[in-house]
Structure 1
Amino acid sequence: MSRKRLQLLVESLSRSAKHFTEGEVECLIKLFDALLAKSSSHFAVAGFNRTVFRDTLFTAFGMTDDAVLDRVFSTFDRDNNGCITVVEWVQGLAVLLRGTLEEKIKFYDLNGDGYISREEMFQMLKNSLIKQPAEEDPDEGIKDLVEIALKKMAMGFRESPKESQKYNPDLDYDHDGKLSFEDFEQAVRDENLLLEAFGPCLPDIKSRIAFEEKVFLETRKL
């Protein structure tokens, strides 16, 4: 890539990925090019595939859960073609690393259907809680916690006059095991720690800082 083309791309992405400076965007483009060079995918001219993406998230952030990795990949892959382009890479990292609460919440709808289901809550909590003693069934404790969480969030809207108009009885967990994503989003706004409680859909702050230090400091030397 010529210097002029690189500069134009940096300027464009700095406007669309507002959480990064131009210097940081350039570093992320260089990292993308390095990852692309290692890819053996037939997409290599345009971007890298799911395997390279998952390996990168594992190496950088220790993320291992298949459902979470697939959801993060889908969130990055905006045109749904199975290939992460440089634009999708930088814009996706802007949210993953420095996104607002509203932006980050989207990662928690694991299958992208607009609801938070029992299964999704179970999957998130299963990977975030300390394992029970060997003689106990950890899944049973997680299932109980999911029921409590669903009931708490669904009932919260009926009990709050301000938000009562947002509660849809057709989406009640008693009927279909789902919570509307709108209600989940409101619950998280009311209690930000819910995102941490529901587990590793996003990198922890320590791994984010380490990633940024490595990319934004070391890449500049290249």
Structure 2
Amino acid sequence: MDQKALKKLVESISKTVRSFKKSEIECLIRLFHSLVKGTDGRLNKIGLDRSAFQDILHSIFGMTDDMLMDRVFFAFDKDNDSRINVNEWVKGLSVFLRGTFEEKLKFCFEVYYLNGDGYISREEIFDMLKNSLHQQSSEEEADEGIKELVEITMKKMDYDNDGKISFADFERAVKDDRLLLEVFGPCLPEAQKCLDFEVLAFRNILTSGF
């Protein structure tokens, strides 16, 4: 790995990601490099595809919900090129590992609006709840129960009564009750998993060149 290119990339990312020290950013870049397995030095031109990223979410962060892992991928993939590049990797992990409440709130909302229109619809809530609830009853009975949960959720979160949940609705509801942050399914890793990851990623930080 070209040290000059690495240092330049660290400097660039550090201007937009404030939650990591430069030495930590370097470690995350090196980890990214090892995960994608092979580069010609153009560290910002390669990336993790959806399958590789979901493997990381599952093996490192303990996530198991395929639908939500898919949505987390799209939340990381800011330029929508179906690959997570090194900049997106570090920025996404900054939310995972050290994000403020506001950053995590925005991240969860972005995961939950499935069609990309900036609103969470009744249909999306139904699909997410159905995906996360593994009930033993028949599918018809389960669907009726989920429809009731959807209506309860709408009454609690749709403050402007327009039949969908905007970011303003979501923000207000979560600030009133922080347990609602991941109301439609776990899309953030558990705190212990984050700590374990930091130990893995930053264990050689004392040997960093920064």
TM-score normalised according to structure 1 size: 0.76
Match of 2:153 in 1: 149
Match of 1:66 in 2: 66
Shift of the 196–81 alpha-carbon distance from structure 1 to 2, 3 Å rule, reads closer
2 CA distance for matches of 1:195 and 1:125?
14
Q: Tell me which amino acid in the other structure corresponds to 1:111.
A: N
The answer to whether the 8 A contact 2:60-2:197 is kept is: yes
Match of 2:2 in 1: 2
Match of 1:97 in 2: 97
2 CA distance for matches of 1:122 and 1:221?
49
Offset of residue 28 of structure 1: 0.7
Shift of the 93–143 alpha-carbon distance from structure 1 to 2, 3 Å rule, reads same
2 CA distance for matches of 1:138 and 1:68?
20
Offset of residue 218 of structure 1: 5.5
Offset of residue 99 of structure 1: 1.8
Offset of residue 196 of structure 1: 3.6
1 CA distance for matches of 2:10 and 2:191?
26
Shift of the 183–135 alpha-carbon distance from structure 1 to 2, 3 Å rule, reads closer
- The sequence identity of aligned pairs, in percent, is 53
2 CA distance for matches of 1:38 and 1:56?
17
1 CA distance for matches of 2:54 and 2:77?
13
Gaps of 5+ in 1: 158-166
Asked if residue 186 in structure 1 is aligned to residue 172 in structure 2, the reply is yes
Asked if residue 107 in structure 1 is aligned to residue 93 in structure 2, the reply is no
Q: Tell me which amino acid in the other structure corresponds to 1:193.
A: L
Match of 2:203 in 1: 217
- Measured on the aligned residues, the alpha-carbon RMSD in Å equals 2.8
Q: Tell me which amino acid in the other structure corresponds to 1:152.
A: K
Q: Tell me which amino acid in the other structure corresponds to 2:153.
A: A
* Secondary structure of residue in 1 paired with 2:120: strand
Q: What does 1:25-104 correspond to in 2, within 5 Å?
A: 25-37=25-37, 46-104=46-104
Shift of the 102–119 alpha-carbon distance from structure 1 to 2, 3 Å rule, reads farther
Offset of residue 201 of structure 1: 1.3
Match of 2:185 in 1: 199
The answer to whether the 8 A contact 2:45-2:85 is kept is: no
Offset of residue 37 of structure 1: 0.4
Match of 2:12 in 1: 12
Out of 109, 120, 129, the residue aligned to residue 124 of structure 2 is 120
Offset of residue 127 of structure 1: 5.5
Q: Tell me which amino acid in the other structure corresponds to 1:180.
A: S
- How many residues are aligned here? 199
1 CA distance for matches of 2:170 and 2:124?
12
Shift of the 74–22 alpha-carbon distance from structure 1 to 2, 3 Å rule, reads same
* 1:25-51 CA distance string (max 9 Å, x none): 111111100111079xxxx96222111
Offset of residue 189 of structure 1: 2.2
* 1:128-148 CA distance string (max 9 Å, x none): 55x555689444433322211
Q: Tell me which amino acid in the other structure corresponds to 1:183.
A: D
Offset of residue 219 of structure 1: 7.2
The answer to whether the 8 A contact 1:60-1:211 is kept is: yes
1 CA distance for matches of 2:115 and 2:150?
17
* Secondary structure of residue in 2 paired with 1:84: coil
Shift of the 22–47 alpha-carbon distance from structure 1 to 2, 3 Å rule, reads same
| Runs of 4+ residues over 6 Å off in structure 1 | 219-222
Shift of the 23–124 alpha-carbon distance from structure 1 to 2, 3 Å rule, reads farther
